[in-house]
């Protein structure tokens, strides 16, 4: 096992990644390297493999071929490696997945306390700090079901940040939200990006991609078809399918 | 002109009654007939149980039998045998204290403040330990009383509580094994659960009490009572495992994924995320299972234990009180009712408490 903080090592390196569901190949030879502090936006039609790819990064899905190296640690069957990577990689889900039987504060405190073994007072201070950051400190004692969708998603972001991860994964964080709540979540993500967090976001929010992404990836059929900085991606895309997708997403 | 909107006045009590029960002539007749029957039945019952009943033992069984109403003197005369069974007379205070210990233990472990591993272990350890010492004796100057002499309410409570204490964790283990990703584990567990569920409780009790001693070496047998409790716990756990599994199926898959993504390990995910939510979903069915198990303790009579129902039989079984079996059964039904009703009220309390965080 290599050291976590060797300089020059990218935050994430994916080589020839393959993933099958039975006989269906969901990912075909994905190659991707993400530097520390880089923000990647992944887009593409549904079923293109974007979610599968980022779920492989913290082993919510098991890959069948190729290598994934996260922060210098290779993801393999070694449970120790998986645990180490999951501690350092935060994830935000489409459907928030907050723990409904705990208050907002407890949602944010539980993992630092039982995974990182932080004392309660420290975990609570951290939790309150991040709840402040996502602008809902006053909701700390409520249960998730008492909050709006946008508030819940911001809690989910705070919960992931409380583990003080080095990489954040976003799996369509605004797709399940009512339109008027999308911007409050994106604002939090923009702030996070401006502070230098390494981020990989699966999203169809092209405005967000333009503002914060260093690179935009377009995936279809389990492959990365295009990879370019946002200016280039939106104005002079080389790929026919990318242009078609963009015209559908940006059409209205 | 200005419109003033006024809500229609709420109907008064009488008006409400009229609308609900006397809206049409036919409805009025049906309502009156039902009311008459109900009043008649309630009056008959009260007359039997209270107004014409005999409460004292002064007249003896003969006077009691002559009375028109219930003969509660049988309870006054024979309550000891109902509560304590064959337990020696001079030690019956120990049996009573043991009942109190079990009830206190159960009540304490129902209070949310005691729901930490250490406290619950402390409460259960102290409760069962105290019960065992009080009942069995042989130490601290208490005379030794073998398990074969335990009986009545104390035995019923002991069998019920130990069945649950052993059966509940076992049920959770079975439910977890059943959802294992390895097919040979999940299928074997499924087979065990279905196997136990396909047997009648009586045959399991009989097997554990009578057949098992032939199969086990002497040192492994233990007293018949503990084998019977094990059998009944196994039976309980097979049913409860399916209830817990049902509760787990109601927990969204995203919950476990979120816990994994936060770096929680298997047992942390199970104990902090999955089980608390699964038990919430399974609460009504779980309370139901507890109620059923409490009443099924009466089946141990077939392997020779005098739990409360069998003790009741003994209470009116002597010649002089033979006529008073209805009163004895009514009294025992009342005792069952107290316990079962408390259980269901507790279930309702838990559901209210949890409703705050419902999705």
pLDDT at B242: 94
* Token pair for B291: 């109620």
Chain A residues with CB under 8 Å of a chain B CB are 58-60, 83, 86-87, 89-91, 93, 95, 97-102, 110-111, 114-115, 143-145, 159-160, 163
pLDDT of A6 above 60: no
Taking only the tens place, the pLDDT of each residue in A219-235 is 999 999 999 999 888 88
CATH code: domain of residue B104: 1.10.3720.10
- Res A240 pLDDT > 70: yes
- B46: number of Cβ within 10 Å: 13
In chain B, the residue whose alpha carbon lies closest to the alpha carbon of A59 is B261
B260 CA: distance to closest CA in chain A (Å)? 7
- Measured distance CA(B80)–CA(B89) in Å, rounded: 8
B-chain CB neighbours of A83 within 8 Å are 263, 265
Low-confidence ranges of chain B (pLDDT < 70): 1-4, 11, 59, 319, 356-359
pLDDT at residue B59 in the model: 67
Domain annotation covers residue B239: yes
Residue A3: the pLDDT is 42
- Domain annotation covers residue B348: yes
Tokens of A148: 């709006």
ipTM above 0.85, yes or no: yes
Instruction: Provide the greatest CA pair distance for chain A.
Output: 55
Q: What is the pTM of this model?
A: 0.83
Position A212 confidence tier, pLDDT thresholds 50, 70, 90: very high
Over residues A52-61, the pLDDT tens digits come to 999 999 999 9
pLDDT confidence of residue A185: 93
Q: Which residue has the higher pLDDT, B7 or A19?
A: A19
Q: Is residue B33 included in any domain, yes or no?
A: no
The shortest CB-CB distance from A93 to any of B258, B280, B357 is to B258
The pLDDT value given to residue B356:
59
Choose among A91, A95, A143: nearest Cβ to B261.
A91
Percent of chain A residues past pLDDT 90, beyond the cut: 76
Region at B279 (left for phi over 0; alpha for psi -120 to 50; beta for the rest): alpha
Give the 3-state secondary structure of residue A132. helix
Give the side-chain half-sphere CA count within 13 A for B349: 9
pLDDT at B257 (0 to 100)? 94
Q: Specify the 3-state DSSP secondary structure of A170.
A: strand
Give a yes or no: residue B95 inside a domain.
yes
What does each C-alpha distance from B246 to A171, B250, B277 come to in angstroms? 29, 7, 11
pLDDT at B332: 86
Q: Which residues pair with A51 in a beta bridge?
A: none
At a CB cut-off of 8 Å and minimum separation 6, what does A33 contact?
A10, A12, A13, A14
- List residues bridging with A170 in a β-sheet: A92, A201
What letter would DSSP give residue B181? Answer: S
The answer to whether the beta carbons of residues A160 and A134 sit under 8 Å apart is no
Tally of structural domains, chain B: 1
H and E: helices and strands count for chain A:
9, 10
pLDDT of residue A5: 47
Closest CB to A60 among B260, B264, B272 = B260
Give residue for tokens 């003896």. Answer: B60
Give A101→chain B minimum CA distance, Å.
Answer: 5
Helices (H), A58-177: 79-88, 104-114, 120-133, 149-161
Helix (H) / strand (E) element for A41: namely strand A39-43
How many Cβ contacts (< 8 angstroms) between chains A and B? 70
* Res B358: pLDDT: 53
DSSP line for B221-261: H--HHHHHHHHHHHHHHHHHHHHHHHHHHTS-HHHHHHHHH
Q: Which residues of B touch A99 (CB under 8 A)?
A: 255, 258-259, 273, 277
pLDDT reading at A4 higher than 60: no
Average pLDDT score, chain A: 90
Mean pLDDT of all residues in A182-204: 93
Give B42's Cβ-side CA count (13 Å radius): 6
Structural domain of residue B149, as residue ranges? 74-358
> Is residue B153 one of the residues assigned to a domain?
yes
């Amino acid at each position: 096992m290599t050291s976590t903080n060797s300089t020059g090592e990218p935050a994430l390196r994916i080589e020839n990644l393959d993933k099958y569901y039975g006989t269906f190949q969901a990912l075909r030879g994905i190659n991707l390297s993400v530097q520390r502090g880089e923000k990647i936006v992944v887009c593409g039609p549904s079923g293109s493999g974007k979610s599968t790819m980022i779920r492989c990064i913290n082993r919510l899905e098991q890959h069948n071929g190729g290598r994934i190296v996260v922060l210098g640690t290779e993801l393999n069957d070694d449970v120790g490696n998986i645990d180490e990577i999951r501690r350092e990689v935060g994830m935000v889900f489409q459907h928030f997945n907050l723990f409904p039987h705990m208050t907002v504060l407890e949602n944010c405190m539980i993992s630092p306390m039982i995974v990182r073994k932080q004392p309660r007072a420290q975990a609570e201070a951290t939790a309150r700090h991040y709840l402040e950051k996502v602008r809902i400190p006053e909701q700390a004692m409520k249960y998730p079901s008492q909050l709006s969708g946008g508030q819940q998603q911001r809690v989910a972001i705070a919960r992931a940040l409380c583990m003080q991860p080095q990489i954040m994964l976003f799996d369509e964080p605004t797709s399940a939200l009512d339109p008027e709540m999308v911007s409050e979540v994106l604002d939090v993500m923009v702030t996070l990006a401006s502070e230098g967090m390494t981020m990989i976001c699966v999203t169809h929010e092209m405005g967000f991609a333009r503002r914060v992404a260093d690179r935009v990836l377009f995936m279809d059929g389990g492959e990365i078809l295009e990879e370019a900085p946002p200016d280039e991606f939106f104005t002079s895309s080389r790929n026919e399918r990318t242009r078609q997708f963009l015209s559908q997403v940006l059409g209205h | 002109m200005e419109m003033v909107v006024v809500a229609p006045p709420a109907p008064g009590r009488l008006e409400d009654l009229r609308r609900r029960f006397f809206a049409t002539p036919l409805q009025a007749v049906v309502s009156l007939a039902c009311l008459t029957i109900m009043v008649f039945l309630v009056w008959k019952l009260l007359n039997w149980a209270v107004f014409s009943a005999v409460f004292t033992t002064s007249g003896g069984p003969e006077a009691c039998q002559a009375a028109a109403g219930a003969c509660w003197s049988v309870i006054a005369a024979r309550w000891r045998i109902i509560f304590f069974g064959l337990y020696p007379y001079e030690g019956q205070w120990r049996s009573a204290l043991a009942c109190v210990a079990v009830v206190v233990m159960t009540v304490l472990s129902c209070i949310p403040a005691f729901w930490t591993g250490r406290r619950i272990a402390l409460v259960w350890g102290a409760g069962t330990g105290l019960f065992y010492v009080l009942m069995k004796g042989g130490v601290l100057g208490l005379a030794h009383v073998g398990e074969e002499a335990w009986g009545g309410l104390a035995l019923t409570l002991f069998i019920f509580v130990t069945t649950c204490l052993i059966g509940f964790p076992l049920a959770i283990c079975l439910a977890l094994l059943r959802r294992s990703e390895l097919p040979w584990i999940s299928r074997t567990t499924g087979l065990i659960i279905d196997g136990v569920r396909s047997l009648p409780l009586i045959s399991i009790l009989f097997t554990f009490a009578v057949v098992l001693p032939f199969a086990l070496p002497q040192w492994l047998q233990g007293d018949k009572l503990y084998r019977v409790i094990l059998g009944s716990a196994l039976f309980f756990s097979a049913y409860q495992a399916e209830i817990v599994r049902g509760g787990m199926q109601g927990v969204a898959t995203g919950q476990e994924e979120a816990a994994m993504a936060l770096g929680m390990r298997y047992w942390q995910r199970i104990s902090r995320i999955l089980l608390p939510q699964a038990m919430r979903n399974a609460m009504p069915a779980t309370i139901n299972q507890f109620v059923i198990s409490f009443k099924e303790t009466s089946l141990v009579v077939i392997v020779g234990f005098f739990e409360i129902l069998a003790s009741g039989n003994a209470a009116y079984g002597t010649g002089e009180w033979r006529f008073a079996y209805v009163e004895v059964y009514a009294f025992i039904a009342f005792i069952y009712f107290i316990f079962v009703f408390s259980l269901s009220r507790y279930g309702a309390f838990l559901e209210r408490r949890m409703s705050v965080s419902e999705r």
